[in-house]
A and B are shown apart, each in its own frame.
Chain A
Amino acid sequence: MTSEPVTAYPARDQYARPLLVALLTGCGFALVLGLYAKLHHPTKYALDVAGFSSPLYAKAWLTTIAVVFAVVQLITGARITRQAAAPAWMATVHRWSGRIAILLTVPVIIHCIYALGFGTYSARVIAHSVLGCVFYGAFVAKMLSLVRRDAMPKWVLPVLGGVVFVSLIGLWATSALWLFATKGVHS
C-alpha cells in the first residue's frame, strides 16, 4: 500500500490566470504592432481622407477628436471606479465614448504603420512610435480584462485605462499638437 503523497500547495492566486492572459496578449499585440511597423517597408503614401489639406491634418483631427472622447472616458471612468453607485448611464457613456475614440484612431494608426512605419529619426518620433504600440497593447489588455472583470483585482481596470489614456494623450501631443504648433491649426 502506498500512501498518497501529501504536498502543501500554496493557495492559488484566483486572479493570476485571466490577468496574465490579458496582460501578455496586450504585450504581444504591442510587440507585433511595433515589429510590423518596423519591418514593413513604408510606402510613404496611403489613402487620403477626403476634406483635409493633407493626410497629416486628417490624422491630426481624428486624433484630436479621439482625445476629446478620451477625456470623457477619464471623467466617467473615475466616477465609475470611485463610486459604487454611479448612475447607470455613466457606464453607457463610458463604453460608447471609448468605442468611438478607439475606432477614430484606427485609420490613423493604419496610415502610420503602413505609410510611415516605426520611425526613429528624432526623439519626438521615437516617443510617438513607442506610445502607439503601448496604446494598442494596453487597449487590448483592457478589453480582455473586461471580459473577466469579476476575476480581476480592483486596480487592473483603472491602471490599464490610465495607461490607455496617458499614451493617447502622449500620442496626440507628439503628433497633432506638434503639427498644430508648427504648421498652424487648420483643416
Chain B
Amino acid sequence: MTRLGPLITLGSVLVLAVVFLLANTQAGKPTAVASATTAPATTGPTATSAPLHALYAGRSSGDQVTVAIAVNGHKVAADLNAGQASEVSLQGSVNGSEFTLTSQSGPGLTGSISGQDMFGTITGFLGQSFPFSAAQAVVQAVYTGRSSGNQVTLAVDTDGDKAAAYICNGKTIEAWLQGSVNGNQVSLTGDKGASLTGSLSGLDMFGTVTASAGLSFPFSAELSPRPAGVYQARIAVNGLATRIGWAVLPDGTQLGVAVAGTTKYPAPLLDLSNNSFTLDGASFTAAPVAGKDTVVSP
C-alpha cells in the first residue's frame, strides 16, 4: 500500500523552499561579480577640454617611442622612452584641449585631446620628430575627506570612469554609493536617497554628499595615498549577517559603521597592516573596495 500524504507534505516543503530561494536570489542581488569592463566606448562628440585628471599611454606611429602623459589640472607631465637610456621627462600646460610640453634637454611635445584619445607630435627627440597617439588609461585613485562641518567622513575610490564611495560618521550615519566619473564630474548614488555629486579640480574633489534624504553636507576631499580608501567586510557575526564599512584617511584615521539588520554600531578598529579586525572574539578580514566594485545592489 502506498500513501500519498507524506509525499504531498514533502513536495510542498520542497516547493516552498524553492519559492523562498528564488525570492531571495531575485530580491538580494549580492555584490555581483564586477563584470569585466569593456573599454569605454566614447566615440561621440569629442571633449572640448582636457579632463582634469587623466593618464594617457601610447606610442609613436613607427613604434620607436613610448609615451606616458599625465594631465593634472592645467599641468601636464610626460615621459618619453625609446629604450637604451634615452628617457626624457617633459613639463607643460593645457589650454582647452591643446597642450604643449617642453624639456630642458630639447625635445618637445604638442598635441590635443579628443575624447579618450590623444594625438600629437614629439619634436627634437633623438634628432627626429615622431607623430604619436595615446589612449586614456584606467587609473585607480582614492579621494578622502570630510564634510565641511565634520559631520561625515568619506572615501571615494575611482577606477577609470567608475567610482565607489563610503560615507559615515562612525556611529549611526552611513551610506554606500556607486557611480561614475565623467570628465571632472563625479556622480554617485546609493540606497534611501543617498548621493554624492562632486567635481575634480586639481588634486581635490568638491561637492555635496547626501547620507540619506534630508541629510546633505558640502564636502571636500583630496587625492590620497594608501592606506586611504574604502574598506568593506561582509561577515556573519554569531549568525547575524553584518556589513561593515570603513572610510580610511591617508594618516590612518578611520571611521566605520557595522550594520546588522536594522542595528548600527561603530565598526571595530581595522588593522591597516593586514586589513584584519576582531569582532566578538573572532578574527575577520576586510577588503579594500575599488571603484569598479559593486557596493550598491542594482
Q: Is B261 positioned at the interface, with any CB of A under 8 Å from its CB?
A: yes
Main secondary structure of the interface of A (DSSP, over half): helix
- Please name 13 pairs of A and B residues whose Cβ atoms are closer than 8 Å in the assembled complex, sorted by A: A44-B241, A47-B20, A99-B12, A106-B13, A114-B21, A115-B28, A143-B9, A144-B10, A146-B3, A148-B1, A148-B3, A150-B1, A175-B239
B17 lies within 8 A of A44 (CB): no
Q: Is B27 positioned at the interface, with any CB of A under 8 Å from its CB?
A: yes
Complex Cα distance, B23 from A107, in Å, reads 11
Smallest beta-carbon distance B23→chain A, Å: 6
- Known contacts A43-B28, A110-B24, A116-B236; decide if A143 and B6 are in contact (CB<8 Å): yes
Q: Which residues of A contact B13 (CB under 8 A)?
A: 102-103, 106, 139
Q: Which residues of A contact B4 (CB under 8 A)?
A: 147
Specify the chain A residue showing the minimal Cβ separation from B233.
A44
Q: Is A109 positioned at the interface, with any CB of B under 8 Å from its CB?
A: yes
Using CB atoms and an 8 Å cutoff, list the residues of chain B in contact with chain A: 1-7, 9-10, 12-13, 16-17, 20-21, 23-25, 27-28, 30, 234-236, 238-243, 260-263, 282
Q: Which of A102, A106, A149 has the most CB of B within 10 A?
A: A106
A115 lies within 8 A of B241 (CB): yes
Q: Which residues of A contact B7 (CB under 8 A)?
A: 143, 147
A45 lies within 8 A of B240 (CB): no
Partner of A47 from the list B27, B236, B238, B261 (CB cut-off 8 Å) is B27
- Known contacts A43-B28, A47-B27; decide if A125 and B239 are in contact (CB<8 Å): yes
Smallest beta-carbon distance A181→chain B, Å: 12
- Known contacts A47-B27, A121-B282; decide if A106 and B10 are in contact (CB<8 Å): no
A44 lies within 8 A of B3 (CB): no
Q: Which residues of A contact B239 (CB under 8 A)?
A: 56, 116, 119, 125, 128, 175, 179
A45 lies within 8 A of B30 (CB): yes
Interface residues of A in 88-107 (CB under 8 A from B): 95, 98-99, 102-103, 106-107
Complex Cα distance, B27 from A147, in Å, reads 36
Interface string of A42-81 (1 = CB under 8 A from B): 1111111000011110000000000000000000000000
Complex Cα distance, B239 from A47, in Å, reads 15
Q: Is A140 positioned at the interface, with any CB of B under 8 Å from its CB?
A: yes
Partner of A146 from the list B6, B12, B27, B30 (CB cut-off 8 Å) is B6
Specify the chain B residue showing the minimal Cβ separation from A114.
B24
Interface string of A100-137 (1 = CB under 8 A from B): 00110011011100111001011001001000000000
Q: Which residues of B contact A115 (CB under 8 A)?
A: 24, 28, 236, 241
Partner of A54 from the list B23, B236, B261 (CB cut-off 8 Å) is B261
B236 lies within 8 A of A106 (CB): no
- Known contacts A98-B9, A99-B9, A102-B9; decide if A45 and B3 are in contact (CB<8 Å): no
Complex Cα distance, B263 from A142, in Å, reads 40
Complex Cα distance, B235 from A119, in Å, reads 11
Q: Which of A56, A115, A182 has the most CB of B within 10 A?
A: A56
A45 lies within 8 A of B243 (CB): yes
Smallest beta-carbon distance B164→chain A, Å: 18
B261 lies within 8 A of A147 (CB): no
Given A44-B243, A54-B262, A142-B6, 13 extra CB contacts under 8 A: A44-B242, A45-B30, A45-B234, A55-B241, A99-B9, A106-B20, A110-B17, A110-B20, A110-B21, A143-B10, A144-B6, A144-B10, A147-B4
Specify the chain B residue showing the minimal Cβ separation from A116.
B236
Interface string of A27-55 (1 = CB under 8 A from B): 00000000000000011111110000111
Complex Cα distance, B269 from A70, in Å, reads 44
- Known contacts A146-B3, A150-B1; decide if A44 and B235 are in contact (CB<8 Å): yes
The 5 tightest CB contacts between A and B, nearest first, are A54-B261, A146-B6, A43-B30, A110-B20, A143-B6
